[in-house]
Structure 1
Amino acid sequence: MSDEILVNVTPQETRVAVVENGVLQEVFIERSRRRGLVSNIYKGKISRVLPGMQAAFVEVGLARTAFLHASDIAHSGREGEPTPTISDLVHEGQEILVQVVKDPLGSKGARLTTHVTIPSRYLVMMPDDTSVGVSQKIESEAERLRLKALMGQITNEQGEHGYIVRTAAEGVDEEALRADAEFLRRLWATIQERSHSAKPGSVVYEDLPLALRVLRDLGGSGEVEKVRIDSRGTYRKLEGFARDFMPEMISKLEHYPGGRPLFDLYNVEDEIDKALERKVQLKSGGYLIIDQTEAMTTIDVNTGAFVGARNLEETIFKTNLEAAQAIARQLRLRNLGGIIIIDFIDMLEEEHKRQVLRALERGMERDRAKSHICEVSSLGLVEMTRKRTRESLEHVLCEACPTCGGRGSLKSAETVCYEIFREILREARQFADARKLLVLASQEVVDLLVDEESNSLAELEAFVGKPIHFQPEALYSQEHYDVVLM
């Protein structure tokens, strides 16, 4: 696999696209007005303790109070001791150092933890721990043992903090690991010093801007061939960062001065637009329908126009195989998280089910977000979860439709007509002294009332004994109407 990272910068926002073999796989967006908060460290103040939820609300200076669960609070309990309750761990008015693990999502505030972690090029420091872990993506057992032994020695010398060795550390020498550990040790000392003098509700440590963060997190994979940036100022910042921390990436950085927009060059804009649609077309003629709701995301697989295989079972199998690969890409591209239910087309053969599930697992292997995939259920559904730390692409770029309120459907003009008839009856009975009634509604509803429903309207006028007039309103939605007494 060959990856390219494209960085598009404007004064209002920075966008980063990850392209693998010419196909867009991931998009990151950070706006100057609303930067991501994950990994930021705050000095917070407990505003409310909720024993019934084993959680607390914390004021950290954001628009909404953040959420801290008891399981996310570090404590010095020993094995065998009863698990402390939220009331044992914190109290109202207490000042506390917390880190954001999930951005505010929808109506929910940020999710917090006191288990602080600080990432660098090769390591992630765990200040409140002394253990050493190695990334699961480093597959060589010999390399895992080597890295664990080196970091165990460094940890014993420092005697204070634990570390997780990142995938980028594969093959690096002891000197580089020591330099990274020393950098993190100094950074943590600075954070502690700031936290003592900071006021509650203030930021103590802020993670890197998006462009630098992506270079740090993705640049060390060894598969990134090029990083193209369309802003000279951002290019210089990345170049300086690479010179200090990632010298092997300097040759891969490239400033793009072309007149044609960088994202247009790689067809990224069109792919982003497609990622906001419900329907995803498959090359075979089949398609996916993706619906994102508050509780979960559902994905329905359909054969569509694909009729190409020898028999029905083979046609379904091939469609499901292609869908599994497309679903893995769409989850990354749209950044869909939480509970995901996939309704593959029903397969009869167990071997076909196993192969489709394996294709989905292979597709998810390159996804950095943790996921868990269950077996095909008795109803033919695949249940899975994908870790969600930031808003989905749809939530970042879109808002609920003001007409339907996010339902995705409107009452038909016929339904609204009959609602108006019932409202006229109600008003005529309640206000018998009215001389006439005026109905304000959308043009579509008025046209239906005076045309197809004209006979019903005449009967209604005769029944209430009052003339009924209609006035179309251009600003009214199809569901909106008013009945005015005159």
Structure 2
Amino acid sequence: MNQEVLINVTPRETRVALVENGILQEVMIERISSRGLVSNIYKGRVCRVLPGMQAAFVDIGLERAAFLHISDIVNAHLHHGEIAIDDKTESIHHFLHEGQPVLVQVIKEPLGTKGARLTTQIAIPSRYVVFLPSSPNMIGISTRIESTEERKRLKEIAWQHMGITEQAVIETSKQGETEVMQAIATVYNDQAEQLNHYGFIIRTAAEGITTEMLCADMNFMCRLWKDIQDKESQAPPCSLIYEDLSLALRTVRDLMGTVVDKIKVDSPIIFNELIDFTNKFIPDFVPHIEYYTGERPIFDLYCIDDEITKALERKVQLKSGGYLVIDQTEAMTTIDVNTGGYVGSRNLEETIFKTNLEAAQAIARQLRLRNLGGIIILDFIDMLDPEHKRQVLRTLEKCLERDRAKSHIGEVSSLGLVQMTRKRTRESLEHVLCENCPTCGGRGSVKSVQTICYEIFREISREALLFDAKQFLVLAAQEVVDIMLDEESNHVAELEESLGRSIRFQVEISYTQEQYDIVPGPFNT
């Protein structure tokens, strides 16, 4: 399979497109205005200690000082050495003092008048692991990896990567998760200098990956931490030491170890950043990066912008003539499959089966392209043959194997529905690019013109009882006024006669279809 990544860079936005065999499969968008502070690492300076709150305010160079509670400095690496707070009744004065430099990470964005929330328990995520520089020799496995054999395999890979001998692995396998450190220390006869000063949590995405891919990710994180330490030693207090990677750099980081033929970027500045980054951390990946100098915009190569526009539409056409209807709500996403204009050439069951097979492939692509996550309900066309049901589900599973977001697919229910989940990795494409319609308020529909006309009639009758007016002026959208003066003109005349009041209409070009106002008069003619 040919995989190509296109990176389009503008001053305020970066867009990344993953193309497989010439077909867009994933889109990632990052805007400067929406980048947050969470995960950023700062060299802060304690500006105030509050023993009554067991907390401190730390200046990290932002408008407001950030907040650090004593519970967030357990096992933290401070400038005066390693500390471990076992007795929570001890005063924070024992660990922090004003003017002290401290390495901290943001865990909560500033909100309103409150500053950011900090921790000294650094955790840096990558594609397959979370690096824990203050947790010596800790190896954790995501609870979502349920297979005992897979958990054991991943843990052994991590131990061996960290230089723990087979004997240590055997000894620690006899212990509980909380006794791993003691078992390793015993094997090494308490020779602390031989132990690593960091740990890892292996993420759900690592399930099933090769030894080489996991080790490459762990090596990358070790080199990254060394780079952070070098920057910390040279930086003044209140400095940003590490910012979560930009979208372009995260793309390179997350795609290392996968089969990518080319990464093309249309910005010389970002191209140089990518080359520097890969030379430093992933040198084998450098030949895959190319600076795009073509005359056409880079996203025109595979009609990416057109595909993005289609991915925001509710209806997805299938080549056979069938179509999908995708409805994304806060609670879940539903996808309905319809035969549309496809009539097949043999019988109804065969037509349904072929439509569902094509739909399964299209659904897998749309999930990745739109980045739909959470609970997803698939309403395939009802199939009678159990083998057809099995093949449709197998096709869906096979197509989702290339998806980096983990998913789980259930069986066909008694109602003919397939329930599945897909891990949320970031905001959906619709949430990134769109906002609620100001006309319908997110409902996805507006009242018909006829409905609005009848509402106006009722409102005029109501106001006639409240106001001693001789006439009424109706301000409304063009389409509403047109109907009032044409199809509903007889009803308008009847209402004028019954109320004994005249009714005039005036077009307001700024009004939406549902907006109108009724003004009692008299009015100057």
TM over 0.5: yes
1:231 aligns with 2:267: yes
1:262 equivalent in structure 2: 298
> Pick from 150, 153, 156: which aligns with 2:163?
153
1:162 aligns with 2:200: yes
Distance 1:185 1:36 in 2: 21
- 1:187, distance to aligned residue in structure 2 (A): 6.1
Q: Do 1:122 and 1:168's aligned partners in 2 also have CA atoms closer than 8 Å?
A: no
Distance 1:405 1:467 in 2: 34
Q: Give the alignment of 1:56-67 within 5 angstroms.
A: none
Q: Do 2:228 and 2:242's aligned partners in 1 also have CA atoms closer than 8 Å?
A: no
1:23 equivalent in structure 2: 23
- 1:29, distance to aligned residue in structure 2 (A): 0.7
TM-score (normalised: structure 2): 0.72
1:11 aligns with 2:52: no
- Which structure has the bigger radius of gyration? 2
Q: Give the alignment of 1:181-260 within 5 angstroms.
A: 182-183=222-223, 185-186=225-226, 205-221=242-258, 223-260=259-296
1:409 equivalent in structure 2: 445
Q: Do 1:328 and 1:363's aligned partners in 2 also have CA atoms closer than 8 Å?
A: yes
Superposed CA deviations along residues 388-445 of structure 1, whole A, max 9, x for unmatched, are 132111111122221122222111111111101100110001113x121111111211
Distance 1:331 1:485 in 2: 53
2:385 equivalent in structure 1: 349
Q: Cα–Cα, structure 1 residues 114 and 294, in superposed 2: closer, same or farther, change >3 Å? A: farther
**Percent of aligned pairs with the same amino acid:** 59
1:47 equivalent in structure 2: none
Superposed CA deviations along residues 125-147 of structure 1, whole A, max 9, x for unmatched, are 145761255998xx999986873
Superposed CA deviations along residues 158-200 of structure 1, whole A, max 9, x for unmatched, are 15423538588743798x7885464355467689999xx76xx
Distance 2:322 2:38 in 1: 37
Q: Cα–Cα, structure 1 residues 168 and 191, in superposed 2: closer, same or farther, change >3 Å? A: farther
Q: CA RMSD in A?
A: 4.1
Distance 1:113 1:337 in 2: 29
Q: Give the alignment of 1:11-160 within 5 angstroms.
A: 11-35=11-35, 39-40=39-40, 99=107, 117-119=123-125, 124-127=130-133, 130-131=138-139, 133=141, 147-151=157-161, 153=163, 157-158=195-196, 160=198
Distance 1:115 1:325 in 2: 43
2:401 equivalent in structure 1: 365
> Pick from 297, 302, 307: which aligns with 1:271?
307
Q: Do 2:124 and 2:130's aligned partners in 1 also have CA atoms closer than 8 Å?
A: yes
Distance 2:36 2:403 in 1: 20
Q: Which amino acid aligns with 2:269?
A: G
1:478 aligns with 2:510: no
Higher mean Cα deviation, 273-282 or 304-313? 304-313
Q: Cα–Cα, structure 1 residues 188 and 385, in superposed 2: closer, same or farther, change >3 Å? A: farther
1:89 equivalent in structure 2: none
Q: Do 1:122 and 1:180's aligned partners in 2 also have CA atoms closer than 8 Å?
A: no
1:421 equivalent in structure 2: 457
Distance 2:156 2:16 in 1: 34
- 1:384, distance to aligned residue in structure 2 (A): 1.3
Q: Which amino acid aligns with 1:483?
A: I
Q: Give the alignment of 1:419-458 within 5 angstroms.
A: 419-432=455-468, 434-458=469-493
Q: Cα–Cα, structure 1 residues 301 and 115, in superposed 2: closer, same or farther, change >3 Å? A: farther
1:390 equivalent in structure 2: 426
Q: Which runs of 5 or more residues in structure 2 are unaligned?
A: 45-59, 63-71, 76-103, 165-180, 185-194
Q: Cα–Cα, structure 1 residues 173 and 480, in superposed 2: closer, same or farther, change >3 Å? A: closer
Q: Cα–Cα, structure 1 residues 283 and 17, in superposed 2: closer, same or farther, change >3 Å? A: same
- 1:453, distance to aligned residue in structure 2 (A): 1.4
- 1:35, distance to aligned residue in structure 2 (A): 2.2
Q: Cα–Cα, structure 1 residues 402 and 7, in superposed 2: closer, same or farther, change >3 Å? A: same
Distance 2:373 2:117 in 1: 15
